[in-house]
Amino acid sequence: MYQKRSICYCGSGKSRESCCKTGPEITLRMKQFANQKEREQMLSDLHISSQFQMRYKGHFEFYGKHFIAYKRKNPTEKCNGFLVIISSYFTDYLDEMDKCPSSWKTLTSAFWEELICTYYPHSIKITPNEKETDTFFTQLKMFVRWLDKQEHTCWYNIVTAYITEYKSVVYNCERLLNHLVTQQYPKFHQIDWDPMNDFEKIEMKFNQYKETVEGVFEVTGTLENTVAIANVETHKTYYVKGVPPSIVVSGMLLQGGIGRNWGQKYWDWCHTFSVFPNQAKNYLYPKVEPTGVK
């Protein structure tokens, strides 16, 4: 069983319990080699896995060898981008669980749903063409089809059903996220963009507001150029400007910060961390404990 997570306000997407801790935490693992051939194989695997940034611990878990084998079979940039996301999902997920299922067969459908409607939306890459969702879902289907053949699992129909259900809403999240981020960072796609300089300016402006609130907000309605949002935890409603009513969809979850000065009727949308489908609430906040692994 795994518990749903209250995500950290820093925007990492991790739970508050596992994020922003004081002091480093280091876990060491050792691997002994029976011969030189095993050592050379490990070095080769490390080289391949480094291309999609898989953590070292992945080499000790069931999924690592499959990601490496799939990468060798599909040495494309799109496949690599997909593996960056799904390998990070596994290690982040397992870090919070502090346990590892023994195989792909011990996962449940909830594991894939959380990847599609919660973890992936947090990991969407900002691009001018806004095609990342299409690419990710195509790569996910290709991987699961390959996995079923390799491991004799039956995940393909389940995963494709989730993709069919969520594709349009996740694309809407990508579209809104792109708009909010490029609105916040106008030079985002330019070569001379200085992200740290922009970030410091935004933080300084945000800290000058008399009232600020950070968290996850659910879109509850729109009126002309104003959007009504409710804090998911406190249920308090705020009316904000800076979120385009023409793009936003009722029920979307916006993770970020809002600010207001004294005498100001409406709140300003100040910064954006993530945009999620409404179904992500099932995984972001603890209500009931679903089954993530058997």
Domain count, the chain: 2
pLDDT tens digits, one per residue of 118-138: 999 999 999 999 999 999 999
Q: Do 52 and 129 lie in a common domain?
A: yes
224 with 252, same domain?
Answer: yes
Q: Please identify, among 160, 182, 204, the residue that sits at the C-terminal boundary of a domain.
A: 182
**Amino acid type, 146:** W
Domain end (from 161, 182, 203)? 182
* Segment 9-60, tens digit of pLDDT: 455 555 555 555 555 555 656 667 677 877 787 778 788 888 888 888 888 7
Q: Are residues 154 and 40 in the same domain?
A: yes
Residues 85 and 200 in one domain: no
What's the pTM value of the predicted model, to 2 decimals? 0.83
Does the residue 144 lie in any domain? yes
Specify whether 178 is located in the same domain as 209. no
Residue 68 lies in a domain: yes
Is 59 in the same domain as 174? yes
Residue 1: per-residue pLDDT: 30
Enclosing domain of residue 108:
36-182
pLDDT of residue 4: 47
pLDDT range class, residue 94, cuts 50, 70, 90: low
Are 236 and 148 members of one domain?
A: no
In a domain, 21, yes or no: no
In a domain, 107, yes or no: yes
Same domain, 170 and 207: no
What does the pLDDT look like over 164-210, one tens digit per residue? 999 999 999 999 999 999 999 999 999 998 999 999 999 999 999 99
Is 28 within the bounds of a domain? no
The residue among 177, 190, 195 whose CA lies nearest residue 275 is 177
182, 205, 223 — which closes off a domain? 182
